[in-house]
Amino acid sequence: MTGGGSWASMAAGLVLPRGCAGCDAPDEVLCPSCRALFDRTVAVPMPECPMGAAYACAVYEGAVRRAVLGWKDHGDEECDRAFATALCTLAERVDVLRRLGASGKDGVLVVPAPSSARSTRRRGRRHLMPSARALAAWCGRSGIDARVRRVLANAVDGGKAVETVGARGRAARLGGRIRVRGSAGLAGSRVILVDDIITTGATMRSCVAALDAAGAARVVCLALAATPRYGVSAM
């Protein structure tokens, strides 16, 4: 955050003290109890991935749901750091780099799942980019060169992403609408795909299919939260 941004946040805090994004505990961005809710391993079956599953940091309910929605759709950018940290911790816990077969010479691409142009305009930012950059930096600290690349586009332009439309309806809405931008040069690449919420898994599967078709060698999938239909693993 810039110096000006820091002063603006401090001034806003004096006038309108914030509460925890999850439970509204005073003077917390994300209190320790709510932060702990993002320290889990939620496995979402996905045979398309080398791990056989996508993994999320939390179950999308209660305080987690409130925090994620506030951050995603209501501009709570102060959660960026906490959520990025949670995703990096998850990446280490599920051994993403080993599963990718990543080495220093090959490098890794960190690819955020795309939002529709309409959703991006409404939010006023690409909300997954801070987490994607944090994951790239985490790879770097592990000795793996990594770059963030927005290579996917989403032509879907109707309805919020978290609407309950069912797996079949969501897959139909997304079918063929996730595409790789231009000639992205993905042949042989190792990709960390990052998303915010896994509802039915349709978005992740569509993204993986597009990356595979463009020649990506391996794709692993991480998300901040997954709906309660998926169990929390013992990892």
Residue 97: give its domain's CATH number.
3.40.50
What contacts 40, CB < 8 A, 6 or more positions away? 57, 58, 59, 232
What contacts 200, CB < 8 A, 6 or more positions away? 166, 167, 170, 171, 227
**pLDDT at residue number 229:** 79
Task: Give the pTM.
Answer: 0.84
Residue 137 vs residue 165, higher pLDDT: 137
pLDDT > 90? residue 234:
no
- pLDDT, tens digit, 9 for 90 and up, residues 12-43: 455 567 899 999 999 999 999 999 999 999 99
> Distance between alpha carbon 100 and the CA centroid of its chain, in Å?
18
> What is the average pLDDT across 114-140?
92
- pLDDT, tens digit, 9 for 90 and up, residues 53-87: 999 999 999 999 999 999 999 989 999 999 999 99
**pLDDT at residue number 17:** 79
Domain for residue 1, yes or no? no
Domain for residue 221, yes or no? yes
Run of H or E residues at 75: none
Domain for residue 234, yes or no? no
Domain for residue 152, yes or no? yes
**Beta-sheet pairing, 146-148 with 152-154:** unpaired
Domain for residue 166, yes or no? yes
| The residue to which tokens 């309660």 are assigned | 228
Instruction: Answer positive or negative: Cα dihedral of 225, 228, 229, 235.
Output: positive
Domain for residue 15, yes or no? no
**pLDDT at residue number 16:** 67
| The residue to which tokens 């079949």 are assigned | 168
- pLDDT, tens digit, 9 for 90 and up, residues 75-123: 899 999 999 999 999 999 999 999 999 887 778 999 999 988 888 888 8
Q: Which of 219, 77, 224, 83 is nearest to 151 (CA)?
A: 219
Decide: helix, strand or coil at residue 130. Answer: helix
**pLDDT at residue number 156:** 64
Looking at mean pLDDT, say which of 4-18, 56-70, 145-159, 198-212 comes out highest: 56-70
Average pLDDT value for the chain: 85
Domain for residue 164, yes or no? yes
Instruction: Answer positive or negative: Cα dihedral of 133, 134, 137, 143.
Output: negative
| The residue to which tokens 């702990």 are assigned | 36
Domain for residue 161, yes or no? yes
pLDDT > 50? residue 226:
yes
Question: Which range marks the domain in which residue 222 is found?
Answer: 28-226
Residue 185 vs residue 98, higher pLDDT: 98
Tokens of 221: 């999938």
pLDDT > 70? residue 231:
no
In the chain, the number of structural domains is 1
**pLDDT at residue number 48:** 76
